[in-house]
Structure 1
Amino acid sequence: MTFILPYIVHRCASLNYFAIFCFWSYLLSLYSTKYYTLRSTERMFNITITKILCTIIPIYYIFKKMVEAWSKSGWWTKYSEIRLIDLENRILSVLTSIFKTWYVHVGPIVGEDDKIWTVLLNKDSQNTPLVLLHGFAAGLGFWCKNFDDLAKDRPVYAIDLLGFGRSSRPHFAKKCEDSEQQMVDSIEAWRKQLNLEKFILLGHSFGGYLATSYAINHPDRVKHLILADPWGFSEIPPHLNLSLRLRVLSVILYPFTYFNPLAAVRATGPLGPWLVKKMRGDISLKYDDVLSDSGIILEYIYQCNSQYPSGETAFHSFISKFAYAKNPMIRRFDKIKSEIPITVMFGQYSWISKESAITLRSQRPNSYVNIEVIPNAGHHLYSDRPKLFNKIVNETCKISDLGLDVDNTYAKEIPNNLLNDTFRWKFDKYIEEETKEMDEEEQEAVIKGVKVNQNTVTVK
C-alpha cells in the first residue's frame, strides 16, 4: 500500500476521484482495525495516512468552495472593483499620449456575455496597429512604461485577457486544449468587434503562448508575431538534474500542484496584500521611476488576482511539473504559417529557456525569425529595460511596415548572450561534431559560417 498510494494519487484524474479513493480506503482501514489484532508497522502507517487524508480532503473542498464564494463577493479578500479602477487610473495617468479605455463586448464566447477591457492609443494613425497581450496574473497597466513610445507611429491596443484584470471572469473548460481555444476565440471575437484586418501581435510570457496559438488559428490576421520572453514553448526535460534539496522540496510541494498558482493570495484573506508584497516585491522596484508610490503596482496585482480566479484556473490547466506547459509550442512550430515573420525577445537573466527560439529559427530557414536578447533584463524585460524594449519593438514594426520581413535577409545574427550555460554545451557539441574530421582552417571556416548565419544550426 505504501508504494501503491503515490501511484494512485498520480493517476487520479482529479481530486474528486482521489476523495472517493480515500473514502473506500478509510472503510477498508476500519475493517482491518476491527478484524486484525496483529498488524505490521506498515499497515498501521497506511491506516494513519489514509485517515489523515480522509480528514483533509473534505476540509479542503469545503474551504475551496468558501474561498470561491468569498472571492466573488469580496467578503474574505480585500478586493474592490472601485479600488481596482482607481489604481489603474493612477497607473495610466503617467502617460502623455491621449488614450481611450472601454469594454468590448465579444458575446457568449465562454460566458453568456463576455467583455474585454481595452485601451487604445493613437487611434488616428494609418500604420499597422500593434496589439499587446499581457502575461499571467498581470493586466494592461503593466505596459505603462511602453505605451507612449510604442504609440508614436501607430495605433496601440492592449487588453486584459479574458479571465484577467477587469475583463469578464467566465468558467473556462477544464481541458487545457479547450480552454486555450476559448481564449483564442475571445481574442478573435474582440478583433472582429474592432474591425481590425491585420495587426502586429505582441505577447509577453503567457500572452506570448496565446499570441502564438492565435497566429496558428488565424494566420491571415497576424502581420508580424513578436514574442517577449514567451512561456510554454519548451518541452519538459526528460531528466532534470535537481539537487537533493530541490527534489525533497518538489515532493513536499507536490500536493499544492492541485491548487491554483495564486490560491494562497485569496485564501489568506486580509493578509493577501502583504503576501503579494513578500512574493513579488521586486516588481514594484521596476516602476519606481514612473510611479510616485511604488506600492501602487503591488496593490494593482493584488486587486487583479483577488477576484474569482477564472483565467488563473484556465492557466492552471495548461501547466505541468510546476512551470512547464502540457502542450508546449515547440511541438506546434510546423503549424505556424511560413509567411508569418517572428521576432523573439528574451531578458538576459530570465528564467525562461531560450533553446526553443533556436529550434524555431532552425525549422524556418526561409522565414523571418529574428532573436533579440536584452542585456541586464529579466523575465519582465519590458519594465526592466523599457527604452531598449521599445526601440526593438518599434524597429520591428517599421521593418514590417516596409515589408522587409518577408524572408530571413534582414534577420540579425543570433546574439552571443543567447548561448547561456543551459544551451552552450549543446551548441559546442554541435560545433565539435561538425568539425571533428576537419583541419584547423576548415574548423575556423565552419565556426565563422555558423556565427554569420546560424539559421543552419539544428540542436537536438
Structure 2
Amino acid sequence: MEPTITEGNKPTIHLPLLSHLPPVIPPTSYLNFLKTWWKRNDKTSAIAERRLLHFLYTGPESYSSFPKPTPLIGRILRVNLDSPGTNTTKVDKSKERIVNTFHLFSAPNPLPDQPMFKHEPETGDIKSSIEEASETSTKNLVVCHGYGAGLGFFYKNLFSFGQAPGWQVFAVDWLGMGRSSRPKWTFSRKSNESWDDIVDDVEDHFVESLEEWRKKVGLEKMTLMGHSLGGYFSSCYALKYPQRVEKLILVSPAGIPEPPPGVEPTKQLPNKSPKEQLDEGANQLNASLQAQAVDVNMNPDEPATEASPQSPPIQARKMPGWAVYLWNKNITPMSLVRFGGPLGATLVNSYTSRRFAHLETEERHCLYDYLYNITSSTGSGEYALAAVLAPGAYARKPLFHRLANLQMPVVFIYGEHDWMDYKAANRVAEIMKVPVKVILVQHGGHHMYIDNPEEFNEEVAKEMQ
C-alpha cells in the first residue's frame, strides 16, 4: 500500500515507493562492498539513479516556495547527439555520444488521486516527451552538475523547480560524466600549441555538446543553471550562444577569479609542451577540488555572512600534503575508486558518510550507491578538466573579464560555508553590464542545494517567477 501524507482523515499527497527497485547493498561490511563492486554495470548505474530520483518528492519542503503542489511526470531520456534517430544501437562505446537527461514537467490533466511524482521508465522517445510537456510548459530550466557529480545530485531540488507554473525542467549529465556515454578523450597535437589553444578546445568540447543537445531536444531558449565546473562551462556556453540563454544561474561556479600573486596556472615546465604537462596532470584536478571540499568546517550555528562588495583580496589556496602527493604521482580519487576494487566503494562511502552526515541513513546510502556507480564508470570527461583548471582549482583562462561580455541577467548562488569564494562574484559584478545578484545560502557548503535545499529552492523559485 502506498504511504501518504494526510490532511485529517483524507489522503492528499502520495509519496513515491522504492519497493519495485532492488534495495541498496548497505555499505556496512567488506562483504557488502565486495558485492557492490562485483555487480556494478550500466544497469546498476541506472537503478542507482532511479532510486535516488525517487526521493524527488519527500514532503512539503519539496515545494515550500509554492502554495499548492502540482503532480509531475519525470522521464529519463537518452539523447543521441550523432544519430538522426532517438534509439541507440550497438556501436563502439568509445565513440558513443549520448547525453543522459532527466525531463520533468507538470502532468497534463492530472487525476484527483494521481501521485505527486510519477517516474516513468527510461525512454529514448524525446519528441513525444517534449510534445506532452508543451501542453503545460512554455519556459525551460536546464540544470548542469559539477565535476565528479551527476544530475542525481539535484534530487532535493528538481521537484520544487518543476512546480513553477509554465516551466519544464531538464537536468543533464555532461558528455563523459554521470550516466552519459564515456567517449575516449583524446587531444590532437598542434604545432606551436599554447595553453589558450588547449583551453579553447576543451571549452568548445563541452559547449558544443550542450548546443547539440539543445538542438536535439528542440529548445529555443532556456534559463541555464550550472554548479561548480558546470557553472564554468555554462558561462562559456552563454558567452558563445547568448541568444539561447534568457538567464544564467551560476551555483558556486569555478574559474572566475584571477589567481593571486605567486600562482601561475599556465606556467610551463622546462622542455615540456602544455599537452605533455596535461598528459601528466590531467587526472589530478579532482584531488585539488576534493581536498578543499571534503575538509570544509560546516558550522550550522554560525551566522550568515553578507555578500559585501568590499572584500579583501583572495588568498592562494593551500593544498594539503596528501593532495600534492596524489598530484605528483598522477593519481586521482576517481582512479583510486576504479582500480581499488572493493576498496573503491569504501572510499566513496567514507566521503558521503562524512560530507552528507546530516542525511537520513537510507537516503545517504542511496547517494553513496549512485556516486559510486558514476565514479567507477570508465574515465572520460574528467581527463579534460586539468586543461581548464590548474592545481588549486584556479582557471588557466579565468572567466573574470570574460563575464563582462554576458548579455543576460546573472545570478550567483554560494553556500555560506562554501570553499568557493563568493567575493570573486562581488568583484566581477562591478564590471558586468547586466543585472547581477549574489546570494548566500545559510548553513550550506559547496553542495548547498543538498545542505539547505529549502532556502536554495526558494531562491531559485524567485528567479523562475
Name the TM-score class by shorter chain: 0.5 to 0.7
Report the counterpart of residue 237 of structure 2 in structure 1. 214
Paired residue secondary structure (1:226): strand
Unaligned runs of 5+ in 2: 1-35, 58-71, 84-92, 106-132, 188-197, 264-314
Find 1:146's aligned residue among 149, 157, 161: 157
Aligned-partner Cα distance in 2 for 1:274–1:164: 21
Question: Share of identical aligned residues, percent?
Answer: 32
Report the counterpart of residue 142 of structure 2 in structure 1. 131
Q: Which residues of 2 match residues 169-184 of structure 1 at below 5 A?
A: 169-174=182-187, 175-184=198-207
Aligned-partner Cα distance in 2 for 1:221–1:382: 25
Find 1:362's aligned residue among 430, 440, 446: 430
Find 1:379's aligned residue among 446, 453, 457: 446
Identify if the C-alpha distance between structure 1 residues 193 and 322 changes in structure 2 by more than 3 Å, giving closer, same or farther: same
Aligned-partner Cα distance in 2 for 1:247–1:84: 32
Paired residue secondary structure (1:225): strand
Letter of the 1:320 partner, please give it. A
User: What per-residue deviation string (whole Å, max 9, x for no partner) do you get for residues 228-252 of structure 1?
Assistant: 1111212222147779x96866764
| Counterpart check, 1:395 vs 2:356 | no
Letter of the 2:454 partner, please give it. K
Report the counterpart of residue 345 of structure 2 in structure 1. 273
Aligned-partner Cα distance in 2 for 1:140–1:205: 13
Maintained 8 Å contact 2:230/2:253: yes
Paired residue secondary structure (1:346): strand
Find 2:334's aligned residue among 245, 262, 284: 262
Report the counterpart of residue 120 of structure 2 in structure 1. none
The Cα of 1:254 is off from its aligned counterpart by: 4.4
Report the counterpart of residue 79 of structure 2 in structure 1. 104
Maintained 8 Å contact 1:208/1:228: yes
Report the counterpart of residue 103 of structure 2 in structure 1. 120
Maintained 8 Å contact 1:361/1:369: yes
Maintained 8 Å contact 2:352/2:364: no
Coordinate RMSD, CA, aligned: 2.7
User: What per-residue deviation string (whole Å, max 9, x for no partner) do you get for residues 407-435 of structure 1?
Assistant: xxxxxxxxxxxxxxxxxxxxxxxxxxxxx
Letter of the 1:355 partner, please give it. K
User: What per-residue deviation string (whole Å, max 9, x for no partner) do you get for residues 252-291 of structure 1?
Assistant: 45413x3345221112122101011223423443542xx7
Greater relative contact order (Cα < 8 A, sep 6+): 2
Paired residue secondary structure (2:449): helix
Maintained 8 Å contact 1:260/1:312: no
Letter of the 1:155 partner, please give it. Q
Identify if the C-alpha distance between structure 1 residues 79 and 89 changes in structure 2 by more than 3 Å, giving closer, same or farther: same
The Cα of 1:353 is off from its aligned counterpart by: 1.3
Maintained 8 Å contact 2:353/2:364: no
| Counterpart check, 1:310 vs 2:380 | yes
User: What per-residue deviation string (whole Å, max 9, x for no partner) do you get for residues 184-216 of structure 1?
Assistant: 101000000111000100011111111101101
| Counterpart check, 1:164 vs 2:237 | no
| Counterpart check, 1:324 vs 2:394 | yes
Aligned-partner Cα distance in 2 for 1:285–1:229: 21
Unaligned runs of 5+ in 1: 1-74, 399-460
Maintained 8 Å contact 1:132/1:202: yes
Identify if the C-alpha distance between structure 1 residues 211 and 242 changes in structure 2 by more than 3 Å, giving closer, same or farther: closer
The Cα of 1:138 is off from its aligned counterpart by: 0.9
User: What per-residue deviation string (whole Å, max 9, x for no partner) do you get for residues 217-236 of structure 1?
Assistant: 11000000000111121222
User: What per-residue deviation string (whole Å, max 9, x for no partner) do you get for residues 332-381 of structure 1?
Assistant: 223323xx1000001010000122211221002x4200111111110001
Aligned-partner Cα distance in 2 for 1:130–1:381: 19
Maintained 8 Å contact 1:132/1:158: yes
Find 2:421's aligned residue among 342, 353, 363: 353
Paired residue secondary structure (1:214): helix
Identify if the C-alpha distance between structure 1 residues 310 and 252 changes in structure 2 by more than 3 Å, giving closer, same or farther: closer
Aligned-partner Cα distance in 1 for 2:334–2:409: 35
Aligned-partner Cα distance in 2 for 1:216–1:188: 12
TM-score, normalised on structure 1? Answer: 0.64
Aligned-partner Cα distance in 1 for 2:104–2:248: 20
Paired residue secondary structure (1:88): helix
Paired residue secondary structure (1:236): coil
TM-score, normalised on structure 2? Answer: 0.63
Maintained 8 Å contact 1:260/1:316: no
Decide which structure has greater helix share: 1
| Counterpart check, 1:191 vs 2:214 | yes
Aligned-partner Cα distance in 2 for 1:264–1:127: 44
Report the counterpart of residue 432 of structure 1 in structure 2. none
Aligned-partner Cα distance in 1 for 2:316–2:201: 33
